[in-house]
Amino acid sequence: MKKLFLIIFCTLLVSVGYGQRFIGSLIVGANVSQVEGDDVRGYKKPGAVGGASVMVALDKKMQWFMTVELLYTQKGSRSAGTRAFDTTNYAPAMFLDVNRNVDFHPSAKYKCRLDLDYVEVPVLFHFEDWHSGCAIGLGVAWGRLVRAQEWYNGFKRNTSIYSGTYRTSDWSILADLKFMIYKGLKLEFRFQYSLRPIRNFVIEYSNVAQSTEYKKQYHNMFSVRLVYSFNEKFVENTRENKHGQRQGVKWIRKTDIYND
């Protein structure tokens, strides 16, 4: 499925039509994330995001774009506080995979922590108002899990990319908003949510009354990013530009419309 996804969009990149431009960008930013369904609430897990992207103009005015990105992004969840109990004396099934060789530390910094790092390929369609420099985009992303580790109540669990605890592939939907700061430098805000569970979590409470709890867990993330496009050309937004009469940003992307 992921190979078909990449082939389709690579084909679109090659066949976008006559006279259209590729705009390359570098991306760096920060994430705040949570995992919905893990009982650790709030966007308390910080992470980094970085990579590169290619934008392809889909019209002559260069207002509609398709954007393909390649990113390294850190997700997960975190809950600060002291430990509630020692799992060596409390052992429902959810604690059976803890690493017993790691000592329990009741004063450790994190009560619960999950680190999941992905290499991601987002594909978005953007509409940009070149008078204001603002752009809005919607799209989907495929991610491959490349790093996984987890702590629960003071113990490190046996979670890794090979343990099968979390899906190695993640599909998500995303939306973003970009603002031009200066020429090719933009500030971007993005929201991203998993389309399918990253984990189907089953808890069997065997030491209490016999009961089973089923939970589906999803990534939920906000990002703030700086995007720098290194091969765009701009003209000053003056009254001499017939398409730049109304007030807007100082610089407007140079397009073929100035030859009309």
Q: What is the mean pLDDT of residues 126-138?
A: 86
Q: Which domain covers residue 84, as residue numbers?
A: 22-259
- Domain count across the chain: 1
Query: Can you read off the two tokens belonging to residue 104?
Result: 């329990």
Whether 198 maps to a domain, the answer reads: yes
| Residues 6 or more apart whose Cβ sits within 8 Å of residue 227 | 25, 26, 27, 53, 178, 185, 186, 187, 188
Structure confidence by residue, pLDDT tens digits, 31-57: 999 888 776 777 888 999 999 999 888
CA distance 75 to 116: 5
Question: Is residue 180's pLDDT more than 70?
Answer: yes
Helix (H, G, I), strand (E, B) or coil at 133: coil
Q: Which of 27-41, 153-167, 229-243 has the highest mean pLDDT?
A: 27-41
Q: Rounded to whole angstroms, how far apart are CA atoms 181 and 202?
A: 47
The residue among 118 and 231 whose pLDDT is bigger is: 118
Largest interatomic CA distance in the chain: 79
Bridge partners (DSSP) of residue 115 are 76, 149
Task: Confirm whether 151 is domain-assigned.
Answer: yes
Residue 40, in any domain of the structure: yes
Greater confidence (15 vs 115) lies with 115
Most confident of the ranges 42-46, 118-122, 253-257: 118-122
Mean pLDDT of the residues in the chain: 76
Mean pLDDT of 109-130: 86
For residue 256, pLDDT over 90 is answered with no
The answer to whether residue 17 is domain-embedded is: no
Among the ranges given (57-71, 99-113, 194-208), the one the predictor scored with the smallest mean pLDDT = 99-113
In-domain check, residue 115: yes
Q: Who contacts 157 (Cβ-Cβ below 8 Å, separation ≥6)?
A: 97, 98, 99, 150, 151, 165
Residue 128 lies in a domain: yes
15 lies in some domain:
no
**6 within a domain of the structure (yes/no):** no
Q: 237 pLDDT band (50/70/90 cuts)?
A: low
Question: What CATH number has the domain bearing residue 74?
Answer: 2.40.160.20
**pLDDT at position 102 over 70:** no
- Return d(Cα 209, Cα 212) in angstroms, integer: 10
User: Is the pTM of the predicted complex or chain greater than 0.75?
Assistant: yes
Compare 199 and 188 and report the one with higher pLDDT. 188
Which of 21-25, 52-56, 239-243 has the weakest average pLDDT? 239-243
Residue 58 has pLDDT above 50, yes or no: yes
Contact criterion met (CB below 8 Å) for 124 and 136: no
d(CA 114, CA 131): 43
- CA–CA dist 120, 254 (Å, integer): 31
